[in-house]
């Protein structure tokens, strides 16, 4: 079998397809499972929409800066959680709030090595996605938009759960709204973006008002 055909087969049917069956929110009471593949799709949709909005508002208002790279953004957003097909959905408190900096460094290194060997080295054009995945976790313009898309998608999911009567998701909703607010109030965010932070602030205020949380 031709090597490139084999890599296309791996992309379509291989380990990465397990993202369809890798579920988020481990240990959380929920009425509907959500796969990482579904989450990644919506994260890309929301992040892309925000980038297009920023670009369009800059054009309308004469902010002559280099436009945000939408294609690059989609690549990064679609693959930003690809490691979870191997690691699963690691609990947020365990993964991000541990005081063990050395542990987080080791985890990050093992994660990157694992997905490179088991996914990116064997799928079509995987070498191009390695850098996209790495950059999606760095402090870049694209990362800010991906994080906004990620959190908006989390609100989308938890809001659906809340409307079904799942009150256990309320603390998560409040936490995400706070994360969004804090991220948008950071000086580095306000220095990079002219229009998205204000849009997100207004969205968050309206969401809290309408949801009565």
Residue 103's CATH number: 1.10.3210.10
Residue pLDDT, tens place only, 152-163? 999 999 999 999
φ and ψ of 35, to 5 deg = -80, 160
Cα torsion 205, 208, 211, 213 to 10°: value is: -160
Residue pLDDT, tens place only, 139-152? 888 889 999 999 99
Amino acid 209: pLDDT: 82
Strand-pairing partners, residue 23, are: 35
The parent domain of residue 68 ranges over: 3-211
Query: What is the domain count for the chain?
Result: 1
Distance CA 17, CA 20 (A): 6
Closest CA to 210 of 175, 177, 179: 177
Q: Which residues of the chain have pLDDT under 70?
A: 91-100
pTM: 0.90
């Amino acid at each position: 079998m031709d090597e490139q055909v084999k890599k296309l087969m791996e992309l379509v049917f291989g380990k990465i397809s397990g993202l369809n069956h890798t579920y988020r929110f481990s240990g959380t009471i929920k009425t509907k499972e959500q796969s990482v593949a579904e989450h990644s799709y919506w994260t890309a949709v929301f992040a892309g929409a925000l980038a297009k909005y920023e670009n369009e508002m800059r054009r309308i208002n004469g902010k002559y800066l280099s436009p945000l790279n939408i294609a690059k953004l989609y690549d990064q957003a679609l693959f930003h959680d690809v490691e979870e097909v191997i690691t699963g959905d690691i609990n947020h408190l365990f993964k991000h709030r541990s005081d063990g900096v050395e542990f987080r460094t080791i985890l990050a290194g093992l994660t990157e090595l694992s997905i490179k060997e088991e996914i990116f080295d064997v799928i079509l054009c995987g070498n191009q996605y390695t850098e996209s995945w790495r950059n999606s976790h760095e402090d870049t313009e694209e990362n800010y938009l991906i994080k906004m898309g990620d959190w908006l998608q989390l609100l989308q999911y938890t809001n659906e759960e809340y409307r079904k009567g799942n009150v256990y998701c309320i603390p998560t909703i409040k936490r995400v709204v706070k994360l969004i607010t804090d991220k948008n109030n950071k000086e580095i965010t306000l220095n990079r973006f002219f229009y998205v932070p204000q849009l997100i602030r207004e969205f968050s205020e309206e969401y809290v008002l309408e949801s009565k949380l």
